[in-house]
Structure formats: structure tokens, C-alpha cells
Amino acid sequence: MRILVIEDEKKVASFIKKGLEEEHYAVDLAFDGETGLYMVETNDYDLVVLDLMIPKIDGMEVLRRIRGNKNNVPILVLTAKDSTDDIVRGLDAGCDDYLTKPFEFKIFLARVRALLRREKMDKEPILRVADLTLHPVTHKVTRGGKEIELTSKEYALLDYFMRNPNRVLTRTMISEHVWDYHFDSMTNVIDVYVNYLRKKIDKGFEKKLIHTIRGVGYILSPDRP
């Protein structure tokens, strides 16, 4: 899943990004409201974490514009503005949750998980392709009943594949959903990680699930020879 953090304090933003990436999320950063609003309008995010006191366009205006554009992406406001009136204004403007600074990161992560669960509540909680399963809540991955250990980036890559079975995914699509906004899709990092994942998912199994579409990208499918 891909998260945008709009936060002008770079140390705080980097701390949040590092913590979320350790939990297998792909994270983009924006340090002002203008950039953040542009990124929301041009990318597909599962969640936006939004500070209210940010330059160029303040967070409350960013929130109003996102909702004014009929974008229902879950928004978690994370701010030092902690008065009752501030919280009421934020919720009335359309945020889904409101957390004040300073905050405990465990509580922040719990809020993130809750919002993402709410967004995905109508979808199948366990992803399955053939005998491969992925549990989004526990991050447990199994094939043929055997548990598979993945790194955070391998997990994020598999999650994206399993949410798009039988669909050819280009390197650009993979970079946008699994890596961050500034990733250089012309490097061979994606190919390296797909090979890492293929060794863990397909090695020892007669039926191969991850296939290369030469010159295009990759596909996760049980129906290809």
C-alpha cells in the first residue's frame, strides 16, 4: 500500500517514512501543501498523512481541496494543533482521523492500520492466487501451506502482484506502487527484487506463478505455462 506524508519538518517526515517502510508500506514525502496537493491529484494513494501547519498551502486548505475534488482517500491529520475547536474543524473539513503531536508511534501505526482496514473492509481479507496466500493484516505469506519469509520490499512487491493477478505490470507501474515517488525506474532494482521474490515463491514448486513478459514487465498468473 502507498502512503503520502505531507509534513514540512523534515526530521519528523523522515522518521515517519522510515517507520512506515519498516511496516511494508511504500511512502512518498511532500514538504509543503502545494506539492502535496499536486501529488494527491496525480498519484493513487491508499492513505494521506497530513500536517496542518505547512507552507505555501496550509493543511486545512489542502484537506478542503482534496475533498472538493471528490477524492475519498483516507486522510489522517497529524498536527500540533490540539484544541477542541481545531479537532472539530479538521473532522468537519473531511479528515478521517485526527492525531496530535507529540505522539507515540505505536498509536500512530494503529491509526494507520485502522484507516486502511476501513478502506479495504469490503475486499477479501486474505489474498489468494493458486496455492499462494497473503494475509494483509498479519503479513503472513504461505505457499502450499509452507510459510515464506520475505523482506519488507519483497512483501510490498508480492502484495502488489497479488492485488493484480493475471495483469501485466510494467516496471513503471511497479516503481510507482512499490517504491517511492523519486525512484528511477530505469535501474535494474525492480528486476533484482522480482528475481529475489521468484526464488522464494516459485523455487521447489512445479507450477511457476511469476512470469516475465519480455520487454514489458511481469505478471503473476497460475495460467501460464
List the domain range (segments joined by +) for residue 147: 127-220
Q: Flag whether pLDDT at 51 surpasses 90.
A: yes
Decide the pairing of beta strands 146-147 and 47-50: unpaired
What is the three-class DSSP state of 220? Answer: strand
Q: 37 and 60 share a domain?
A: yes
Domain boundary among 119, 154, 175: 119
pTM over 0.85: no
- Could you tell me how many residues make up the chain? 225
Q: Report yes or no on 177 lying in a domain.
A: yes
Q: 38 and 108 share a domain?
A: yes
How sure is the predictor about 181, in pLDDT bands with cuts at 50, 70 and 90? low
Q: Flag whether pLDDT at 122 surpasses 50.
A: no
For residue 84, what pLDDT is reported? Answer: 93
CA angle, 50 then 4 then 29, to 5°: 95
CA angle, 168 then 169 then 170, to 5°: 115
How sure is the predictor about 177, in pLDDT bands with cuts at 50, 70 and 90? confident
For residue 101, what pLDDT is reported? Answer: 93
Q: Report yes or no on 140 lying in a domain.
A: yes
Q: Flag whether pLDDT at 10 surpasses 60.
A: yes
For residue 88, what pLDDT is reported? Answer: 94
Whether the CB-CB separation of 217 and 190 falls below 8 Å is answered with: no
Written as one string, the DSSP assignment of 10-23 is HHHHHHHHHHHHHT
Decide the pairing of beta strands 132-135 and 140-143: antiparallel
Q: 106 and 138 share a domain?
A: no
How sure is the predictor about 175, in pLDDT bands with cuts at 50, 70 and 90? confident
Domain boundary among 102, 119, 136: 119
Q: Which residues contact 58 (CB under 8 A, 6 or more apart)?
A: 33, 52
Q: How many domains does the chain have?
A: 2
Q: 107 and 208 share a domain?
A: no
Q: Which amino acid is present at 24?
A: H
**Of the given ranges (48-62, 142-156, 169-183), which has the lowest mean pLDDT?**
169-183
Q: Flag whether pLDDT at 136 surpasses 60.
A: yes
Average pLDDT over residues 115-130: 75
